Amino acid sequence: MTQKYMNTIIFNTKQHTLTLELVSGTKKSYKDVMTVKLIDGMYEIFQKQKDGLNAPIIRIPLNNTIVFYEHE
């Protein structure tokens, strides 16, 4: 089994979906993701809420995370 050292974020900017795979092996998918911002050394993921506002749902450290952006 290969050791994984980086968290992985795959953000589809057209479909507004995000897949997060942690070094622990945990994998989660999110819908209605509007943006990924870099704030204070952390990637902060914002999701559109039922009231139409965007709210942060996850903060993950920049230093061990790689982000892939898809635009299709």
**What average pLDDT does the segment 6-14 reach?**
97
Decide if 13 contacts 7 (C-beta within 8 A). no
Question: 49-58 pLDDT, tens per residue?
Answer: 999 999 999 9
Per-residue pLDDT averaged across 5-17, rounded? 96
Contact 60, 46 (CB under 8 A): no
Q: Tokens representing 46?
A: 């914002």
d(CA 61, CA 64): 6
Judge if pTM exceeds 0.85.
yes
How would you label 31-55 residue by residue, b for 16+ Cβ within 10 Å and e otherwise? eebbebeeeeebbebbbeeeeeeee
Say what the pLDDT of residue 62 is. Answer: 95
